[in-house]
Amino acid sequence: MSVTGETARDWLERIRALDIASPVRIMNVCGGHERTIAMAGLRSALPPQIELIAGPGCPVCVCPEEDIHDAIALSLRKGVTVVAFGDMLRVPANVPKSQPRSLDQARAAGGSVRPIASPSDAVRIAHELPGQQVVFFAAGFETTTAPVAGLLAQELPPNLSVLLSARLTWPAVAMLLDSDSPGFDALIAPGHVAAVMGPEEWLFVPQRHGLASAIAGFSPETLLSALHAVVVQLLEGRATLENRYGRVVRPGGNPTARRLLDEMLDVVDANWRGIGIIPRSGYALKSRLSAIDARQRFGLDGGSARKRAGEMPPGCDCAKVVLGKIKPDQCRLYAQACTPRDPVGPCMVSDEGACHIWWNSGVRKRADTPTAA
């Protein structure tokens, strides 16, 4: 089902007209959704019984600290250039204060780091620097990983390798729903991920767990349409998956993108920063691609012997924010030690991080509510 002509105001009035007697907690798992919700002021516009929860929708936020450490170390090696999407340049690793804690700081210290906008930029830079080893540090969810898989299907320059830190979205939601306290009553599923992987990937939410769910786009009207859909489901005591982004999301998703992902990558158990291992939640290069795997080429181990290796920075509650256990402004460091100008945790770095989004929407101080245990 798709939105056909209704405005955001129309959908808001429909939601306000519903007889909502009990609190309703609705999670979204997309940084783009959270940005629209925050910037459009949807939380304050909706009935007070509806609580919107930002969930695991930020790949930069959960990128393993060990991978960031390896990328920083590589950038400081003579003869190596690291290329990465812009958000990754400011994500901090846990290192002594005397050492660069991000790719940006590594570049300032003399490391070779270049931001890129697309995987094809990595190929171009490798051709431009034939005497350098170029490492593409590729982090992201399915939407950004599909173009990386397309890159891997090509004949690559011999001096280009890939440090892959890609994750799948749905396993984190499955982990929450399998827990004793999921913390939400309905789900808004990510439109761009569903466009690549197909809406069927989210059927487990209503079928296995009995939760109302809807796929949404990124405008206020499509989000409000999806919110209306799940609230109506809850009020009627039913659970299904409604596609409210039908002009983009089709059954089966994008066949070409899915084929490339299947042919180039394996689905593996993967570490999420501050959260731990989530089964079958990551992508790894196929064994036949080991020659272009930066971990193999450079013998990387994530600096696992370091203090706090793999953890969030001290005091940072980003993992709880990612899982929807606390609101961004309930983090102990929010708007105090951690701001976009000088971020401590990854949730304040990325454009898809809930802390960064809330700050940009005008939430500039920490809430009085104590952090949940």
CA 310 vs. chain centroid, Å, equals 17
Structure confidence by residue, pLDDT tens digits, 185-242: 999 999 999 999 999 999 999 999 999 999 999 999 999 999 999 999 999 999 999 9
Structure confidence by residue, pLDDT tens digits, 305-319: 677 778 899 999 999
Q: What percent of the chain has pLDDT over 70?
A: 97
Q: What's the chain's average pLDDT?
A: 95
pTM score over 0.75: yes
pLDDT for the residue 2? 41
For residue 301, pLDDT beyond 90: no
- Looking up tokens 């709880």, which residue turns up? 320
Whose CA is closest to 53, among 39, 35, 34?
Answer: 34
Q: Is residue 161 part of a domain?
A: yes
pLDDT for the residue 372? 46
For residue 373, pLDDT beyond 80: no
List the single range of 9-13, 104-108, 203-207, 306-310 with lowest mean pLDDT. 306-310
Whose CA is closest to 117, among 142, 140, 93?
Answer: 140
pLDDT for the residue 309? 79
Whose CA is closest to 96, among 271, 299, 303, 275?
Answer: 303
Q: Is residue 1 part of a domain?
A: no
Confidence band (pLDDT; 50, 70, 90) for 1? very low
Structure confidence by residue, pLDDT tens digits, 124-162: 999 999 999 999 999 999 999 999 999 999 999 999 999
Structure confidence by residue, pLDDT tens digits, 162-181: 999 999 999 999 999 999 99
Tell me the backbone φ, ψ of residue 364, rounded to 5 degrees.
-110, 10
CATH number at residue 161: 3.40.50.11740
Confidence band (pLDDT; 50, 70, 90) for 302? confident
DSSP state of 5: S
Helices and strands of the chain, counted as H and E runs: 16, 11
Q: Where are the alpha helices (DSSP H) in 91-186?
A: 103-108, 119-128, 142-152, 170-178
Confidence band (pLDDT; 50, 70, 90) for 4? low
Q: Is residue 203 part of a domain?
A: no
Q: Is residue 229 part of a domain?
A: no
β-bridge pairing 265-272 and 276-285: antiparallel
Q: What percent of the chain has pLDDT over 90?
A: 93
Give the range of the structural domain holding residue 123, as residue numbers without chain letter.
Answer: 60-168+254-298
Buried-exposed string 11-50: b where 16+ CB fall within 10 A, e elsewhere? bbebbeebebeeebebbbbbbbbbbbbbebebeebbeeeb
Q: Is residue 323 part of a domain?
A: no
pLDDT for the residue 67? 96
Q: How far apart are the first and last CA of the chain?
A: 40
Whose CA is closest to 278, among 241, 314, 307, 319?
Answer: 319
Q: How many structural domains are present in the chain? A: 1
Structure confidence by residue, pLDDT tens digits, 14-44: 999 999 999 999 999 999 999 999 999 999 9
For residue 344, pLDDT beyond 90: yes
pLDDT for the residue 277? 96
Q: Is residue 5 part of a domain?
A: no
For residue 369, pLDDT beyond 80: no
Q: Is residue 346 part of a domain?
A: no
Q: Is residue 102 part of a domain?
A: yes
